[in-house]
């Protein structure tokens, strides 16, 4: 029995991973094999889900309800607890929490792409695959932070999670990450930062890239010139070394520091 009550069932997690990923990377949709028995097992253990059909207003209302029902302290604690445990799924929710908190109640107003100008959701979502989103959460800490369906899943799972309290090692790892951020040469891009963060925590490059995106989505990495971009980074693309990190955001999210 795992000491962390929220640790995912190992077999269910393997079923989820084996559906989407092999040693060669992504498995093409047509080449995916999943038996009904395995699907049912993964669903029973909360790792896979039925396809979701939901309209914009219900999606926005449910996201709102989740944000209001979760304490910021829980989102922060889950993030911290992910740093040394490498539970990437626990890392993701902080980004969704902060991003979703910023969007208030609103009606659907569509743009030219047929998505809501406020939150980016479509008016109707039909048979959406939540399994791939959950795979991305567990594999990298999420990929689509800010995507309304991803945020709904991420916050639902954060609400369910029972992360172990952050340890001194978790807090020390956060401090190390922040030290590395603060010591960045002024023109460093998020990609450079990702390389340097290899010293702070056990991680793959994609995991560190996502960690940087989460820190940016949560306001810790706050670009001073939002017009800049960098590679495939969405939230962190405009961050440069000179921006360092926001002490205000760190204090708000993680409380007083030693
Ligand atoms: Zn909207």
Q: How far is CA 29 from the centre of its chain?
A: 23
What's the pLDDT score for residue 4? 52
What's the pLDDT score for residue 230? 77
**CA of residue 109 to ligand 1 center, whole Å:** 7
**CA of residue 110 to ligand 1 center, whole Å:** 8
Query: How much is the pTM?
Result: 0.94
196 exposed, middle or buried (CB, 10 Å; 0-12, 13-18, 19+)?
A: middle
**CA of residue 124 to ligand 1 center, whole Å:** 11
**CA of residue 77 to ligand 1 center, whole Å:** 28
Distance in angstroms (rounded) separating the CA atoms of residues 205 and 201:
11
**CA of residue 240 to ligand 1 center, whole Å:** 30
What's the pLDDT score for residue 215? 98
Ranges of the chain with pLDDT below 70: 1-6, 258
200 exposed, middle or buried (CB, 10 Å; 0-12, 13-18, 19+)?
A: buried
What's the pLDDT score for residue 258? 65
**Please, what is the average pLDDT of the chain?**
94
């Amino acid at each position: 029995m795992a000491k962390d009550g929220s640790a995912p069932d190992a077999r269910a997690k393997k079923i989820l991973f084996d559906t989407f990923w092999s040693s060669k990377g992504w498995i093409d949709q047509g080449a995916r094999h999943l038996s009904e028995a395995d699907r049912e097992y993964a669903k029973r253990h909360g790792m896979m889900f039925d396809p979701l059909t939901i309209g914009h207003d219900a999606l926005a209302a449910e996201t709102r309800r989740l944000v209001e029902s979760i304490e910021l302290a829980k989102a922060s604690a889950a993030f911290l607890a992910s740093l040394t445990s490498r539970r990437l799924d626990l890392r993701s929710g902080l980004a969704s929490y902060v991003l979703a908190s910023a969007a208030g109640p609103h009606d659907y107003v569509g743009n030219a792409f047929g998505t809501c100008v406020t939150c980016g959701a479509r008016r109707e979502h039909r048979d959406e695959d939540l399994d791939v989103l959950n795979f991305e959460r567990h594999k990298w800490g999420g990929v689509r932070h800010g995507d309304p369906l991803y945020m709904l899943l991420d916050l639902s799972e954060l609400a369910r999670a029972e992360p172990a309290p952050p340890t001194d090692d978790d807090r020390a790892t956060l401090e190390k990450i922040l030290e590395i951020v603060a010591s960045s040469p002024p023109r460093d891009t998020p990609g450079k930062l990702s390389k340097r963060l290899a010293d702070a925590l056990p991680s793959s490059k994609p995991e560190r890239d996502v960690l940087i995106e989460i820190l940016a989505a949560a306001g810790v990495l706050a670009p001073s010139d939002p017009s800049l971009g960098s590679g495939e980074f969405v939230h962190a693309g405009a961050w440069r070394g000179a921006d360092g990190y926001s002490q205000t955001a760190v204090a708000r999210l993680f409380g007083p520091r030693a």
